[in-house]
Chains A and B, each alone.
Chain A
Amino acid sequence: MLFNSIDFLVFLAAFFILWPLLRRWSHLRYVYLIAASFVFYGWWDWRFIFLVIACGLNVYLAGLAIYHFPRWKKLSLVLSLVGNLGILGIFKYLDFFIANISWLMGVFKVDVSIRPTHIILPIGISFYTFQALTYTFDVYQGKLKPTRNLLHLFSYVSMFPQLLAGPIVRASDMLPQLKENRPITEKQRWEGLQLVVHGFFKKVVIADNLAEIVNVAYSGSGMNNSSLFWWIITIMYTFQIYCDFSGYSDIARGIGKWMGYEYPLNFNHPYISTSFKEFWKRWHISLSSWFLDYVYIPLGGSRKGQGHAHANMWITMLISGLWHGAAWTFIIWAALHSFYLSLERVTKWPRRLSQLPGGRHVAVLFVFVLTTIAWIFFRATSFKQAMDILLLMFSFKNMSISAVSSVIDLRFMLFLFIIIAREMYFYLGLDSSKLGMSKISVLARPAVVSFMVTACIFLRGPGEAFIYFQF
């Protein structure tokens, strides 16, 4: 079920009619939450509910085995990982693997024809698999005592607001919250509403409208030969993916607050970062910290010297690239970011640049432009298309505004301007200054929210699925 669909709005309204009543009793609360989550997930294809169940049962049994049989805890962990990552591998990477094997066989002139399976990728499988694995890891590391209550665990694994696209909530953060029945405060309701409205605004007004022109540009029906056009499209995609993904996270966090739960912040204005290290602390924070805690540090982190630290970082980033999608373009995107991070570690350019007058602004611009370039590989349908676009962008041919104004409607530029202005607002620190929203009177804030709601209704773009659903 898409957040930006009438189905979801009806579902949400129905859910919150009974939630304040049923959340008082823990077992009823779990059952209600699980049932609602299964309806939410099964709306797309009910058969895939069994994947969520398999994933949950796997970590439930692994958690108990790790806790009660300490001698076999490593084996239990490995079995749990093999089970869950195996399912993920089959559904997400099997065809990619087959295609690459076939290609490799072709290179060595070995005639083996393996047909791709064309298995449908279940929405959000990477998210709920990784979320469920935090339970096994946390129990293994002794941070969490396994729950005996299967309903308690399933209400965490299948919880609908962040099931499909995060934030990836840690079991050690969420399971204790699910046990409690704290009253929902006025502050939570208000903050929840603000998050939901901001999330919808980012998704349906900004991302969906920008998607209209970006999709046409990347569709391949006649490549535009203007460099300026591709620079604008690339910047538009940079903000589209940000608004699409952070919009989902905001909506999920807002709904969580309405339910009485706190999800972690997932995006913290990543495009105002002064370095790539900072960028990854601001972009998809829950996934970055997942990889940091469960891949980078177990690999050795930076404990074994600079060389190892670089290697571990590259491994972690490349896995992260593959997590996003089974295609070489995602791996190249991750490799580019690894390169940026390595270069930054070696040269320490952000710190040096920031010491110069105006250097901080240049650093932000530099990080933004390089991030934008990396996104081309993320969006392109093939490596060739990405390279064609890059070459065109850096040929600086046909940079006249007239070549672009006939192709890109002014309204798309307006939506781009709105989101850039919004990020500038935070970059310049206006949110905490006297001019900022925090100082606006109590009555004016609901007015701002209601204007945004009206914009979400009447200025919404064509209903696109969330980009991160495919991961």
Chain B
Amino acid sequence: MSEHSTKNRDKSFFQKVRHERAVYAVVLSCLLTMALGWARGWDGGVYEGRFWLMKLDWKHCADAILVGDSRVGSGLSPAIMAEHLADRRIFNYAFDGCGFYKEYLDAMPDVLDPDSHNKMIVMGITPRSLIDSIRNDHFIYGHQKRKGHSSTIMAYTNDLLQFCRPMQLKELLSTLLRVENTKHFFRKDHTDGWSAREVTGQDAVMSIHPEYVKNRVSSDIIEGVLAHVRTWTELGISVYAFRPPTTVETFEVESQHSGFDEAAFVKSFQEAGGIWIGVDQTAYPSYDGSHLCPDGAIAFSHDLSRKIAASEAKRASVFAEKKSASPFRP
């Protein structure tokens, strides 16, 4: 046996591989990744891939849930709302692109804690969420991705995944060139389900209009919503609904082309036992013409929760009055 091979055998594994090209590449990759990740900045939050799986894992944990599509998901912060709705565990159970179809409606009560005395469902009703179109949203997508133990693994590796989250080419370039980018590519998904976003350069009206060329608000979906509202209110769950605020342009496109008759819906919703909350549609800033930017979401969360709190207080006083006026009072 040659002297070289004898020497080689005596070396440890790490001594053997330290001069390898593969090792250089791995070390260099780690350094580059860390440099680029740090250059972008670290703001915590939940990794997007895990965000939807995390929401699907919520079971019997909430007093109040906020449901709907991305306008609810990005437009309402449970933490802010909790300031006005004290003693309530609030979760934002909205999913991007989601409509009020049966599977989603059926899943909602399971998120509420059965032992809670303040059960509440707050529904953000957009015309798009009442369309019976292709179900290509994050609720369905999340269910498809739930196989195995992805959710658990992602929970343990969340910070690493979040640090290495993908960026758009524009973001990469502005990171490399050190251009101020936080305002243009901001997204932070919170553990309570709020997805705070501000991505500039997008025009939602362009994509909303074509949706209504083929699709209209479905009477079957509305019937499904009303039937569930009846059931929930009978079970003692307070059900609130509102139309999520947006911009004048989007509001007009949706009102004209979606076939959504808001007045008729509100009437039926109230008859089913729900409480409708009127919202100023254009009072909050949006980043893309459809969704609220974080500042707008915070302001809207304050306003909506105040209105809900006032309504709850009013209902409580009416209930107390009825109780005191009851001839069966002990």
For A414, give the chain B residue with the smallest CB separation.
Answer: B169
In the assembly, what is the distance between CA of A194 and CA of B166, in Å? 22
Q: How far is the CB of A343 from chain B (nearest CB, A)?
A: 39
A89 at the interface (CB under 8 A from B): no
Of A44, A192, A222, A447, the contact of B28 (CB 8 Å cutoff): A447
A442–B21 contact, CB under 8 A? yes
Look across to chain B and name the residue whose beta carbon is closest to the beta carbon of A458. B167
Query: Would you give the 0/1 interface string for B129-170, flagging 1 where the beta carbon is closer than 8 Å to chain A?
Result: 000001010000000000111100110010001001011111
Say which residue of A446, A451, A463 sits within 8 Å of B21 (CB atoms): A446
Q: Are B153 and A43 in contact (CB under 8 A)?
A: no
Is A458 a contact of B25 with CB atoms below 8 Å? Answer: no
Chain A interface residue count, Cβ-Cβ cutoff 8 angstroms: 35
Secondary structure type dominating chain B contacts: helix
Q: Which of B24, B157, B161 contacts A446 (CB 8 A)?
A: B24
Segment at the interface with A among B29-37, B66-74, B80-88, B281-289: B29-37
Interface check A35, CB cutoff 8 A: no
B164 and A193: CB pair below 8 A? no
C-alpha spacing A450/B35, complex, angstroms:
13
CA distance A458 to B25 in the complex (A): 17
Considering only residues 13-68 of chain B, those with a C-beta below 8 Å from chain A are 17, 20-22, 24-26, 28-29, 31-33, 36, 49
| Residue in B closest to A415 when the chains form the complex, CB atoms | B169
The stretch of B98-106, B113-121, B206-214, B271-279 in contact with A is B206-214
- Whole-angstrom CA separation of A446 from B31 in the bound complex: 13
The docked-state distance in angstroms from the alpha carbon of A446 to that of B170 is 26
**Number of residues from B at the complex interface, CB < 8 A:** 35
Determine whether B108 belongs to the interface, using a CB cutoff of 8 Å to chain A.
no
Residue A453 at the chain B interface, CB threshold 8 Å? yes
> Is B33 within 8 A of A7, CB to CB?
no
Q: Is A457 an interface position by the 8 A CB rule? A: yes
Centre residue among B22, B36, B168 by max chain A CB count within 10 A: B22
The answer to whether A45 has its CB under 8 Å from any CB of chain B is: yes
Q: Does B172 contact A (CB under 8 A)?
A: yes
CA distance A442 to B154 in the complex (A): 37
Give the distance to chain B from A60, nearest Cβ to Cβ, in Å.
Answer: 28
Report yes or no: A190 in contact with B166, Cβ–Cβ below 8 A.
no
Contact residue among B24, B150, B168, B211 (Cβ-Cβ distance under 8 Å from A6): B150
A405-428 interface code vs B (CB 8 A; 1 in, 0 out):
000000100100000000000000
Chain A, range 428-471, C-beta contacts under 8 Å to B = 442-443, 445-447, 449-451, 453-454, 457-461, 463
Query: What A residues does B168 contact at CB under 8 A?
Result: 411
- A10 located at the interface, meaning its Cβ lies under 8 Å from any Cβ of chain B in the complex: yes
- CB-CB under 8 A from B213, the residues of chain A are 222
Question: Which residues from B are CB-within-8-Å of A44?
Answer: 147-148
Q: Does A189 contact B (CB under 8 A)?
A: yes
With the chains together, A425 CA to B21 CA distance in Å?
23
Q: Given A219-B134, A411-B169, A461-B166, are A450 and B32 neighbors across the interface (CB < 8 Å)?
A: yes
- A190 contact set on B, CB distance < 8 A: 20-22
In angstroms, Cα B25 to Cα A10, docked, is 20
For A461, list chain B residues within 8 Å (CB): 166
By Cβ-Cβ distance, the 6 closest A-B pairs, closest first, are A446-B25, A450-B28, A453-B29, A446-B24, A450-B29, A449-B25
Q: List 23 A-B contacts (CB under 8 A).
A: A6-B49, A6-B154, A6-B161, A189-B22, A190-B22, A221-B134, A222-B210, A411-B168, A411-B169, A445-B25, A446-B25, A446-B28, A447-B28, A449-B28, A450-B31, A454-B32, A457-B33, A458-B164, A458-B166, A459-B166, A459-B167, A460-B166, A461-B166
Q: Which residues on A are within 8 Å of B, measured CB to CB?
A: 1, 5-7, 10, 43-45, 186, 189-190, 192-193, 197, 219, 221-222, 411, 414, 442-443, 445-447, 449-451, 453-454, 457-461, 463
Known: A442-B21, A445-B25, A458-B164. 9 other contacts (CB 8 A): A6-B161, A10-B157, A44-B148, A190-B20, A193-B21, A193-B25, A221-B210, A445-B21, A460-B166
